[in-house]
A and B are shown apart, each in its own frame.
Chain A
Amino acid sequence: MISHPGLVLIAAAVLMAPLRGWPRAAVALLGSASSVFLSFQAGDGVHLTIEYLGMQLAPFAVDKLSRLFAIIFALMALGGALFALNQPRRLELPAAFLYAGAAIGATLAGDLVTLFVFWELMAVGSTLVLWSASTPRAGAASMRYLMVHLFGGMLLFAGVAGHVLESGSTAFTAMGIASLPEKLILAAFLVNAAAWPLSAWLPDAYPEASWSGMVFLSAFTTKTAVYALLRGFPGVELLVYAGLAMVFYGIIYALLENDMRRILAYSIVNQVGFMVTGIGIGSEMALNGAAAHAFTHILYKALLLMSAGSVLLVTGRRKCTDLGGLYRSMPFTTACGIVGALAISSFPLTSGFVSKSMISQAAADGHLPVVWMLLAAASAGVFLHAGIKFPWFVFFQKDSGLRPPEPPWNMRAAMALLAALCIGLGIFYEPLYRLLPYAGDYVPYTGWHVVAQLQLLLFSGLAFFVMLGWLRRTLTVTLDFDWFYRVLFPALFLAAGRVLAAALGAGGAAGARLGAMLESAVRRLHGPGGAFARTWRTGSMALGVMAMLLAFLLTYYLR
């Protein structure tokens, strides 16, 4: 138990909560470094079994797949901690460690119950990270975020309980999607993966985090879902379509977006789409590709968000239209941002190339030409929105007149570490391949792969500058604070009204009317002064009691 890399991070979170200054930095760095070490060291097999609610649980079970994710999560905690050392908000780093520890706990869970427990802990931890930005917008966003994730957690809860009852086993292994519990579990995983049509929570919430908070947020939730899908639903065809929908959703919205970190948030949805597609293809190479892509994506997306976070910290601005020309005074940050942008575009000699090409190759090998073509087209789209758009508008473009300094040393060190990993893994990819769940002899650097990818990037690069005038148009879609009250609740009531109208055999207009009636009824009954909320007169209470008694007597006598 003491060697569980996730619990080490959670312990570090508790330990550092009351600390400040260098003791806090020491706990954070030592804790995450030892978590990295323990993740590498963890041997295969079940290391701990406990009994909980009459079930045998295996909260610490390791195999190649879970070790891979534990390593990258621990690495990310280390890199993120280094980056966030000068974050003055006291809650954020402990919350992020709780979050990262829960993510590792979920990947090392050998059973569904432990998975669920850490799943929910992750939701709490990530909400705290978001919340600790302590702006009103972040507060509202964290409410929406928590609602979505507890909804997903409830799907998982019902699914796990049903699955355990049905199969009589708590083990977390590959399953089908035949029964209702399995469908619920799949749905819960997809909610966390930000699958379309439930993708909106991610770009809605993450960009409201602090400049360091989003680095953490980008890494764990969606990738834990990728891990869970890899283990639970490999080769489920539905995932191919879900993944492709995410890929294009991410690209389209990112191209339209103006806020630099929202661009990157949409880009997370897009990248996770590649992984989900790979899981849906389901061949060993595709699963390897999805796992490897999760690993490399965490690194380069964190690098991109660190450069964006540095810009946000030193300029206080987040809109592309307010930025530009920063390369003059921030050459180091610019260089790191470009490395991340190259990696996300799968440029040869970067980490993105050695992982994403595996998924495309698997689609080709699996004789899925349409999927392969869509993935190729999407790769061009990635280069457009993340590879060029982000660095171009932030660091080059027009001169915004800003001359901010480089960020502090620890942030530069964190970026240098991740940039080195992004390039290092692109060149020396064998250590990564050895960590992958399946043995394979995939070779990324063949003439065909390199030439095809370079051509693709070249043409989409050309397209970007040709279409620059069009891209400069900005369109920002943001969800407001009262989104729930304005949109979701009326929508729910409308849906209920429609169902009711359909049951009564009435048309669509009647559905809308019934929905409105239902909504005002809830307000009237439950709102201030409503029948359920106000204090009844004593006589009415007594009358109610008599009515109850009569009702009971009648039902008993009639039976």
Chain B
Amino acid sequence: MLEHLAALIVVVPLVAAPLIVLVRSRRFAWIATTAASYLSLLFSVQLFWRVATLGPVSYAIGSWAPPWGIEYRVDALSSFVLVAVSLTASFVAPYAQRSIAREVARDRQYLMYAMYCLCLSGLLGIAITGDAFNLFVFLEISSLASYVLVALGPRRQSLMAAYQYMLMGTVGATFYVIGVGLLYLMTGTLNLADMAQRLPGVPDVRPVLVALAFITVGIGLKLALFPLHQWLPNAYAYAPSMATAFLAATATKVSVYVLLRFYFGVFDPARLFEHLPTREVFVALSLAAMVAASLVAVFEQDVKRLFAYSSVAQIGYITLGIGVDNQASLTGSIVHLLNHGVTKGAIFLLLGGVALRAGAAAVRLETLAGLGRRMPLTALGLALAGLSLVGVPGTAGFITKWYLVVGALERGWWWVVAAILASSLIALAYVWRVLEAAYLRPPAASAARGEAPAPMLAAGMAMTALCVYFGFETSFSAGGAADAAALLLRGLR
């Protein structure tokens, strides 16, 4: 069984989805979802451990040897992403029951679970596959499922948000597949490692450059690279709470993984970063995201939308590390996949509880008034996770900032350091608005008291605890990210 782990991790949630649709019982759906999430966490931790001790795992689907068959390949980078995704899933799944029961119509609830399982399976598949076309398939599975997740949202605008998300996502996926098609044309292979070996021998580089542009913009759309982020704020704001938390913590992060894999494992990084203006473009777009999106968050009144813009800014941190392109900055990027995942996951889980207690679909700043007295634990969790967004020491966000600053300093880029620090001050400004509403404004007379239901509160607080835990104990988070960054700089070999 152990040698089939790589396949099982994808298959388990993939099988759970149709089962849920067939049985159509809400209770079964929830149990199956939770079981699939926990199993995927178990498998990915085992895989991570195996990769850390024994080196990369290669698994040939259907025993067709690569590069002809589809290869599942788990290395330090992909196992790290697998753990990050399944970790989030294992917090979201137990949370889902009460939250979905409240936000989604009864006859559609099983669909929510099924789509969530499909999405999880797709995201894990993206991280594990070593085949460019198989990756496209998983990208589509996860994306289609997430469009539905957003569309099932409780607000009037959910459908429109899902529609725009779907159009943009489809454009992104199409661009990606065009890029892969061009690469296939030039190299004759779809296996990523094989492709990397053959690319240097390709005589005509123009189609490769076109492929690079298509893949960059396509995946840039998926990961909400500024200014391709337009779909994200509404999709996050209008999705059901559990979907927002899950997508914010995982979907864009896995897309970053795809970009890393192509930039460092397929295209020649030396060429990409030395001859092409990749570095300049990524640093410029990232800084723009960190400032422009944070500033929007400072003015935003809808709290979920506020934190969605904050996500765009935080993705700026991740892509900044790619642009700076050294060991420390890439460690910062990769560790932020996890750190921002747990931080935003915690925030959106807790906001889901607030929405449920407020009995409103939208959480506005006024909704938070007096939260410190009405829901003290939730407010505390929001405060801690908010500090992690700012990057205060002792929280996960600080670890990221440390590596990014060190990476920028190694290049002697003091102005990038200044921009990182300025953007954290802007982050403080918008986090403060939330805390000010929660602690300093008196609660409305009609506002309900009491915490969210225990399973929801527990999931949110557990993720908050992770924000703090990863601020102190970094042997898994920063250690795993450093291994992955070293692997990237070796060209994923």
A residues whose Cβ falls under 8 Å from a Cβ of B: 52-54, 116-117, 120-121, 124, 131, 134, 136, 139, 143, 146-147, 150-151, 154, 157-158, 161-162, 165, 180, 522, 525-528, 530, 532-533, 535-536, 538, 541-542, 544-545, 548-549, 552-553, 555-557, 559
Is B425 within 8 A of A151, CB to CB?
yes
Tell me the B residues contacting A by CB distance below 8 Å: 163-164, 167-168, 171, 175, 206, 209-210, 212-214, 216-217, 220-221, 227-228, 230-231, 233-234, 275-277, 281, 292-293, 295-296, 298-301, 309, 387, 390, 392-394, 399, 401-403, 405-406, 409-410, 414, 417-418, 421, 424-425, 428-429, 432, 436, 439-440, 474, 478, 482
Enumerate chain B residues within 8 angstroms of A124, measured Cβ to Cβ.
387, 392
Q: Are the CB atoms of B209 and A139 closer together than 8 Å?
A: no
Contacting A549 at CB < 8 Å: which of B175, B418, B436? B175
Q: Given the complex of chains A and B, what is the CA–CA distance between A555 and B450 in angstroms? A: 56
27 pairs from A and B in contact (CB 8 Å cutoff): A53-B402, A53-B478, A117-B394, A120-B392, A121-B393, A124-B392, A146-B428, A150-B428, A151-B425, A157-B401, A158-B417, A526-B292, A528-B300, A532-B292, A532-B295, A536-B230, A541-B164, A541-B168, A545-B217, A545-B221, A545-B228, A548-B220, A552-B213, A552-B217, A552-B281, A555-B276, A556-B212
**Other A-B pairs beyond A53-B474, A553-B210, 10, CB < 8 Å:** A120-B392, A150-B390, A151-B425, A158-B414, A158-B417, A533-B309, A535-B164, A541-B168, A548-B227, A552-B217
Chain B residues, CB < 8 A from A541: 164, 167-168, 230-231
Shortest beta-carbon distance from A24 to chain B in Å: 17
How far is the CB of A182 from the nearest CB of chain B, in Å?
A: 14
- Nearest A residue to B427 via CB reads A150
Partner of B474, one of A52, A151, A530: A52
List residues of chain B with CB within 8 A of the CB of A54: 482
Q: A154-B424, A157-B405 are in contact. Are A117 and B393 (CB under 8 A)?
A: yes
**In the complex, which residues of chain A have a beta carbon less than 8 angstroms from the beta carbon of B299?**
526-528, 530, 533
Q: In the complex, which residue of chain A has the Cβ closest to the Cβ of B292?
A: A532
Question: Chain B contacts of A120 at CB under 8 A?
Answer: 392-394
Are A526 and B296 in touch, CB under 8 angstroms? yes
Residues of A contacting B276 in the complex (Cβ-Cβ under 8 angstroms): 555-556, 559
**What's the minimum C-beta distance from A201 to chain B, rounded to whole angstroms?**
15
CB proximity of A118 to chain B, nearest CB, Å: 8
The reply to whether A549 and B213 contact each other, CB–CB distance below 8 Å, is: yes
Closest to A134 in B: B440
* Bound-complex Cα distance A533 to B482 (A): 35
Check B221–A116 contact: CB distance below 8 A.
no
Of all A-B residue pairs in the complex, the 10 with the closest CB atoms, nearest first, are A154-B421, A526-B295, A552-B213, A139-B440, A117-B393, A556-B209, A533-B296, A120-B393, A549-B217, A541-B230
B296 adjacent to A556 (CB under 8 Å): no
Partner of A157, one of B221, B227, B421: B421
Determine if A538 and B301 form an interchain contact, defined as CB atoms under 8 angstroms apart.
Answer: no
**Given known A150-B390, A526-B295, A535-B234, contact A158–B432 (CB-CB < 8 A):** no
**Binding site secondary structure of chain A:** helix
Contacts of B175 in A (CB 8 A): 549
Verify A165–B409 contact, CB threshold 8 A. Answer: yes
Specify which chain A residues have a CB less than 8 angstroms from the CB of B482 in the assembled complex.
54
Residues of B within 8 A of A154 (CB): 421, 424-425
Rounded to whole angstroms, the CA-CA distance of A527 and B301 in the bound complex is 10
Smallest beta-carbon distance A92→chain B, Å: 14
Q: How far is the CA of A25 from the CA of B309 in the complex (A)?
A: 45
Within the complex, the shortest CB–CB distance from B472 to chain A, in Å, comes to: 8
* Chain A residue with Cβ nearest B294: A526
Q: Please report the C-alpha to C-alpha distance between residue A556 and residue B275 in the assembled complex, in whole angstroms.
A: 9
Tell me the bound Cα distance from A552 to B167 in angstroms: 21
Known A-B contacts A117-B394, A120-B392, A545-B221; the reply to A161 vs B228 at CB < 8 A is: no
Q: Is the CB of A544 within 8 A of B164?
A: no
Report the nearest A residue to B209, measured CB to CB: A556
A154 and B405 CA atoms in complex are apart in Å by 11
Verify A557–B209 contact, CB threshold 8 A.
yes
Chain A minimum-CB-distance residue to B234 = A535
Q: List the A residue with the shortest CB-CB distance to B160.
A: A535
Which residues of chain B come closer than 8 Å to A117, judged between CB atoms?
393-394
Interchain CA distance A121-B398 in the complex, whole Å: 12
Complex-state Cα separation, A541 to B169, whole angstroms: 11
- Contact yes or no, A165 B410, CB < 8 A: yes
Residue from the set B293, B439, B478 with the largest chain A CB neighbour count within 10 Å = B439
Interchain CB contact (< 8 A) of B295 among A146, A522, A548, A559: A522
CB atoms of B277 and A555 under 8 A apart: yes
Q: Which A residues touch B405, using CB under 8 A?
A: 157-158, 161
The CA of A54 and the CA of B276, in the complex, are separated in Å by 33
Cβ of B259 to closest chain A Cβ, rounded Å:
13
**Neighbouring A residues of B277 by C-beta, 8 Å:** 555, 559
- Give Cα A540 to B295, complex, Å: 22
Which residues on B sit within 8 Å (CB–CB) of A131? 439-440
A525 to B428, CA, bound (A): 20
Contacts of A52 in B (CB 8 A): 474
A150 to B391, CA, bound (A): 10
Q: Of A136, A536, A552, which is within 8 A of B216 by CB? A: A552
Nearest CB of chain A from residue B168's CB, rounded to whole Å: 6
A146 contact from B234, B300, B432, B439, Cβ within 8 A:
B432
Q: How far is the CB of B73 from chain A (nearest CB, A)?
A: 28
Given the contacts A158-B421, A165-B406, A559-B277, A542 and B171 also touching, CB distance less than 8 Å:
yes
Q: How far, in angstroms, from A151 to B429 measured CA to CA in the complex? A: 12
Complex Cα distance, B405 from A134, in Å, reads 36
Residues of B within 8 A of A532 (CB): 292-293, 295-296
Question: Are A147 and B292 within 8 A (Cβ)?
Answer: no
CB contact between A555 and one of B281, B300, B393, B436 (< 8 Å): that residue = B281
List chain A residues, Cβ under 8 A from B298. 526
Question: Complex: how many Å from CA A279 to CA B58?
Answer: 63
Could you tell me the distance in whole angstroms from the C-beta of A413 to the nearest C-beta in chain B?
A: 32
What CA separation (Å) do A180 and B414 show in the bound complex?
Answer: 10
Report the Cα distance A151→B422, complex, angstroms: 9
User: Nearest chain B CB to A481's CB is how many angstroms away?
Assistant: 11
Closest chain-B Cβ to A151's Cβ sits at a distance in Å of 6
For A552, the closest partner residue in chain B by CB is B213
Q: Is B220 in contact with A139, judged by CB distance below 8 angstroms?
A: no
Residues on the A chain within 8 Å of B401, using CB: 157
Q: Decide: A116 and B281 in contact? CB cutoff 8 A.
A: no
With a CB–CB cut-off of 8 A, which chain B residues contact A136?
440
Complex interface: chain A residues within 8 A of B217 (CB): 545, 548-549, 552
- Tell me, in angstroms, the Cα distance from A124 to B482 when the chains sit together: 30
B301 contacts which of A180, A528, A544 (Cβ < 8 Å)? A528
Chain A residue nearest to B217 (CB atoms) is A549
Minimum CB–CB distance from B66 to chain A (whole Å) comes to 30
Q: How far is the CA of A530 from the CA of B300 in the complex (A)?
A: 11
A residues less than 8 Å from B216 (CB atoms): 552
Bound CA span A522–B425, Å? 16
Min CB–CB distance B435 → chain A (angstroms): 9
Instruction: Name which residue of chain B comes closest to A166, CB basis.
Output: B409
Nearest B residue to A539 via CB reads B167
Q: Are A538 and B163 within 8 A (Cβ)?
A: yes
Residues of chain A within 8 A of B233, CB atoms compared: 535
